[in-house]
Structure 1
Amino acid sequence: MRQLRSVLPVGSPRWAARLAHWRVLGLGADSLEKPKIAIVNSSSELAVCYSHLDEVARRLKAAILAAGGVPFEIRTVAPSDFITSVGAHGGYILSSRDLIAFDIEAMVEGAMLDGMVCLSSCDKTLPGHLIAAARLDIPTLILPCGYQPSGCCHGERVDLEEVFVRASHYVVERDEEILRWLTECAAESVQGPGVCSGLGTANTMHMIAEALGMTLFGTTPVRANSPKMWEAVKRAGARIVEMVLEDLRPSRILTPAAFRNAATLLLAIGGSLNAEKHLQAVAGAAGIDADIFALLEELYETVPLLIEVRPNGETSIEELEDAGGAAACLKELAPLLDQSALTVEGRTLGEHLQRVSPSGTPGPIASLASPKRRRSTLMPVRGSLAPRGAFV
């Protein structure tokens, strides 16, 4: 086994301190020699985005232990765009992304742990996790923890996206009919834990992480607490220990090719425009000389729109997942992708795509030959009003 950075000189003061601390935590002396894995958890009772993460962490610990690793759960701030945006006129939201990265760095780098699995949920967690992974450059696996089940009101499907849209209309119009609908239906719109069920920033970034190669292939988007998600948790626990032993680091995965693949997927799914600034921040942390906006401009004329998922269309996120999710979208995009890009599983993107069967039947995911639209709904523009670029 290769020398682990967490293994301290025997007899040194910090070695002795760990022996003392960890014995009380139930760990034997042999734990000092094993791969030590951080489980990055943003569990919180403020928002349902995070309310299931403690159980995810518990099952992940068991999987890491079974694989021969030693798991250590660490916590970060848990921002929710809907819940923690009330104070400071929303000023805590974007900055919390970087606070997450700092939280991780202080704990994981401070303790010199060998690898980490990041439990990614609401909008700012996954970008913060990627920034930390790029900055620390230790074996890292991003584990998207799923989207929330939607509800039903007055016999119709209702989700948080619809509640947000109607509430915004009420603020402007002060229509009592809208208020009555909100009073009755808002409480029915979310039926369990997970991120918002549309293709907002959270699900967009979960899929982008798969295109970057930082998640297990074929795991986004995913229903929270579903058998598919729990299987991914089990696989992640085993894989992160292997990654540490292989010394498979983000610097081998987060390459210019990976960012180009991610930008291609972003346009093809018409994802959240916030993904551009998050990708730019991750590229900066990884030391990649990339202008993500310019890359999107370059790709805009060649990458068509393959899906129209709420709020860009009537397709539900559940229908997208059932049709194959990010993996199926990437399969359709294969001719436009750099398939040599490496992933956390030690395989190239191309090797993964060879295992994905074409759908062969009409569905929510269109083909390059017959797309939903010739161009993405995420349109980069640049001109006198926006000399540094903007989206429409």
Structure 2
Amino acid sequence: MPDSPSDAARPLRSNLPPTSALGIARRAQWRSLGIPASDLLKPKVAIVNTSSELAACYAHLDDIADALKVELRALGVLPFEIRTVAPSDFVTSAGRAGRYILPSRDLIVNDIEAAVEGAKLDAMICLSSCDKTTPAHLMAAGRLDIPTVIIPCGYQHSGLAEGREADVEEVFLLAAKAAVTGESTEHLEELADDAILGPGVCAGLATANSMHMVAEAIGMAVPGSSPVRANSEPMWDAMRRSAVALVDLIARDIRPRAIITDGSIRNAVRTMLAVGGSINTIKHLQAIAVESGLDIDVWETFRMLGRDTPLLASVRPNGPWLVEQFEDVGGGATIQRELLPLLDGDQLTVTGKTVAENAADARAADGEIIRSLENPFGTDPAIAVLRGTLAPGGAVAKRPVPDPGPRRFTGPARIFANREEAIAGISNGRLRSGDVAVIRGIGVSGAPGMGLTSAFIFALHAKGLAQSVALVTDGQFSGLVNQGMTVGEVSPEAAAPRAPLGLVQDDDIIDIDLATGSLDLLVDPAELAGRPSYQPPADRDTGGGMLDQYEQLVQPLSCGAVLCARPAGPCQSDASDEASALSLTETA
């Protein structure tokens, strides 16, 4: 390895001809910032800081960025901090029913491209925090294909970890319950004040911590970095190791597409199945694959690998263990060690070592909080991908393992246009035990931006209907959800031409079978063919800005809901979605 990246023979793309118009103007800008002339030829690294004062998720990132600059300068590179939009599911979901949340993921990717590619920087190191930042950083890495390391920046210290009554997720659940049952809410403010005791993402294995583990499992974060307490010594150690890893990647010109491969995507899928991670990881991994130019169907990969991937951890909300306890017995690194017989151990990681080499340094499972392949918590998949005449492109269900509920649910459809209408259906008696609530028209294009249905699921739970009423939706729900027969992200979504979900009517029979992985509409194909096409609500509020642009550009979930189509891979155009939907409805 060269003494420093600047000693490498490989020319750096950031070093423009020094007396060219752009080169001399760049020198003037950077010298005015106090950058020594001797640093101008060094590798230039973007510190991608997705920071914001809107949420606790991001409260510590500026301090990490400052410390990272010191580390990188000492290692012989020139860091530049850049900023992006910073969404929080609990804060920026207030406007337009949460429909800005998923589109913000791709806005982050474009933010990064504009800054890093526009300036022709040589590498980037990304401070990943809340739900959408980690997938966005991995997508940008795959798209730009310059040396990159992801730093999972840790989870917040919660009230539950201190023996108090609630964390932020529990407060949210209690508030949703009170809204339906009419229970007193006087105690909620007191609980909320004690729920979050420090910066970082939500405690528990919801989407943020799941995606942090994905970054490590896929090889783009240093081993032992997820999950990790925010601002703890292990987090700072991971930051320092990440800086060293990035400098080595620059010197050796190892780029993300050498690390993000079909094999590493499968490793990440195995990891999520083994810990019962968030269902949102499916669409994010598909988007990462697309942006990395891969030809892999992540939905089908979850479906196939779920058949023989045992559950090795049972962390909240799946089970009783706190994420702190999970971290303390080895966390993601130990999961990799125990899963190694089922992983592609030859996959390269940002350390320059393989998955197998990194796993050899991890501690063994304790047998209680993390179990071995021979003694798992369960063998049924916690994340079940379904296909059938109602979901030819796929759908996803999240279940606890072991699963106390029924494996099959068959019942008449009750159609709702949004979650509020469905919640009202619980109270006014339109939705009854044995029904399948269908909340449609809230997919990536139909919403646009993908509507959230978690509040409806929590309302079912509050009314004691979680096991007797099923949900089928083209929207999404929180990584917290793992109760009842809940099926989300149905593809093609109702807004796609002649999609089966758009043709469903009240009282149609829907059959959900987790054992066979099927989701079917039990209606004669000839009758379906004669039904009118789905029409979106006339009063749909998009604001005339970003969401309208998103509706025009977003690709189907089969393509990860990215904003840029790729000619290869499982991505489908609207036309092929229509053809697939028509074919299945005609042959049902």
Deviation at 1:168, TM superposition (A): 1.4
1:139 counterpart = 2:185: no
The equivalent residue for 1:65 is 73
The equivalent residue for 1:261 is 267
2: CA distance, partners of 1:37 / 1:147: 26
1: CA distance, partners of 2:302 / 2:158: 32
Say if 2:316 and 2:322, in contact at 8 Å, map to a contact too.
yes
The equivalent residue for 1:182 is 188
1:161 counterpart = 2:166: no
Equivalent in 286, 306, 314 of residue 308 of structure 1? 314
The equivalent residue for 1:30 is 38
The equivalent residue for 2:580 is none
Structure 2 runs not aligned, ≥5 long:
1-7, 398-588
Equivalent in 5, 21, 36 of residue 13 of structure 2? 5
2: CA distance, partners of 1:324 / 1:175: 40
1: CA distance, partners of 2:231 / 2:317: 23
Say if 1:303 and 1:376, in contact at 8 Å, map to a contact too.
yes
Q: Give the 5 Å matches for 1:64-103.
A: 64-103=72-111
Say if 1:134 and 1:282, in contact at 8 Å, map to a contact too.
yes
1:252 counterpart = 2:249: no
Say if 1:118 and 1:140, in contact at 8 Å, map to a contact too.
yes
Provide closer, same or farther for how the CA distance between residues 66 and 155 of structure 1 changes in structure 2, counting only shifts above 3 A.
Answer: closer
Secondary structure of the 1:333 match is helix
1:236 counterpart = 2:242: yes
RCO higher in structure (CA 8 A, sep ≥6): 1
1: CA distance, partners of 2:248 / 2:160: 43
Secondary structure of the 1:39 match is strand
The equivalent residue for 2:297 is 291
The equivalent residue for 2:387 is 382
Deviation at 1:390, TM superposition (A): 1.6
Deviation at 1:153, TM superposition (A): 11
CA deviation profile, 1:95-150 (whole Å, cap 9, x unmatched): 00000000000000000000000000000001110111000000000001000000
2: CA distance, partners of 1:247 / 1:196: 35
Q: Which amino acid aligns with 2:313?
A: I
2: CA distance, partners of 1:5 / 1:215: 24
Deviation at 1:343, TM superposition (A): 0.2
1: CA distance, partners of 2:62 / 2:163: 33
1:317 counterpart = 2:323: yes
Secondary structure of the 2:82 match is strand
Q: Which amino acid aligns with 1:48?
A: A
Deviation at 1:160, TM superposition (A): 1.1
1:341 counterpart = 2:347: yes
Provide closer, same or farther for how the CA distance between residues 66 and 257 of structure 1 changes in structure 2, counting only shifts above 3 A.
Answer: same
Deviation at 1:375, TM superposition (A): 2.0
Structure 1 runs not aligned, ≥5 long:
none
Deviation at 1:152, TM superposition (A): 5.3
1: CA distance, partners of 2:319 / 2:187: 22
Say if 2:161 and 2:324, in contact at 8 Å, map to a contact too.
no
Question: Is the deviation greater in 4-13 or in 196-205?
Answer: 4-13
CA deviation profile, 1:192-222 (whole Å, cap 9, x unmatched): 1000001010000000111100001111000
2: CA distance, partners of 1:253 / 1:22: 33
Say if 2:224 and 2:238, in contact at 8 Å, map to a contact too.
no
2: CA distance, partners of 1:345 / 1:12: 37
Say if 1:60 and 1:234, in contact at 8 Å, map to a contact too.
yes
2: CA distance, partners of 1:153 / 1:281: 34
More helix by share: 1
TM-score (norm 2): 0.65
Deviation at 1:172, TM superposition (A): 1.3
Provide closer, same or farther for how the CA distance between residues 243 and 162 of structure 1 changes in structure 2, counting only shifts above 3 A.
Answer: same
Deviation at 1:362, TM superposition (A): 2.5
1: CA distance, partners of 2:90 / 2:279: 17
Report the aligned-residue RMSD.
1.3
The number of equivalent residue pairs is: 389
Say if 1:309 and 1:320, in contact at 8 Å, map to a contact too.
yes
The equivalent residue for 2:333 is 327
